[in-house]
């Protein structure tokens, strides 16, 4: 089979981004992922702590978290100026608690613009767009640097199922490989919390995603 499961994006184009944001509204399945992430955050960090989101996109996850944890400080990182603009509009009610960093996760030292201690880093449907396992590994390393040996990483992203019969774009790879990389770069523990919208035979680009949890150190 020659079909490659993945998608091409033009995230620097305002019209494309606006249409993408309208199409990628949180569905019931996607909200399950949001809820798992929120539950982990509420269990592991103080109510006035700091969260960094890699790939804030239209701000759907940020809005979900900030409504439940209104006292946290939130920093959204994204390489797309149109995405940052949409997120800023969506998060107007939380503007006193949200800052933005426009940066490329691979090419730029995005962490240098984050000046306060970070309790958790979250990301959804972003790192697969980095186009290689090596780039994902570099971002995982940067996350560990930002967390400074004490914190939580929660990454919900598209994967390649173990039983895959199709080819997948390079940024989508197996759960076991994600966990192996997280442990290799120095996280104390790493696990997959759940897998959603599993489809092997006729997968669409927006199916087959998992939530990874990695702990930089035992959080007391």
CATH of the domain at 160: 3.40.50.150
Residue 75, in any domain of the structure: yes
Domain count, the chain: 1
pLDDT at 177 over 70: yes
pLDDT at 97 over 60: yes
Residue 40, in any domain of the structure: yes
Domain range for residue 203? 4-215
pLDDT of residue 217: 78
Residue 70, in any domain of the structure: yes
Residue 220, in any domain of the structure: no
Q: What pTM value is reported for the model?
A: 0.94
Q: In residues, how long is the chain?
A: 220
């Amino acid at each position: 089979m020659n079909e490659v499961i993945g998608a091409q994006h033009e995230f620097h184009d305002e019209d494309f981004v606006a249409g993408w944001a309208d199409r990628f509204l949180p569905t019931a399945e996607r909200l399950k992922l949001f809820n798992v992430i929120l539950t982990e955050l509420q269990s592991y960090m103080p109510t006035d702590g700091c969260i960094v989101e890699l790939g804030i996109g239209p701000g759907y996850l940020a809005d979900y978290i900030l409504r439940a944890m209104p006292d946290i400080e939130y920093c959204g990182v994204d390489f797309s100026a149109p995405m940052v603009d949409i997120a800023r509009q969506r998060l107007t009610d939380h503007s006193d608690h949200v800052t933005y960093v426009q940066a490329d996760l691979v090419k730029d030292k995005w962490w240098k613009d984050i000046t306060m201690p970070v309790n958790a880093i979250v990301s959804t449907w972003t790192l697969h767009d980095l186009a290689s396992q090596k780039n994902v590994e570099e971002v995982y390393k940067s996350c560990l640097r930002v967390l400074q040996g004490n914190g939580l990483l929660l990454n919900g992203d598209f994967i390649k199922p173990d039983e895959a019969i199709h080819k997948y774009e390079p940024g989508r790879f197996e759960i076991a490989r994600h966990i192996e990389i997280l442990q290799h770069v120095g996280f104390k523990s790493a696990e997959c919390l759940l897998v959603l919208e599993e489809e092997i035979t006729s997968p669409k680009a927006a199916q087959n995603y998992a939530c990874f949890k990695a702990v930089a150190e035992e959080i007391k």
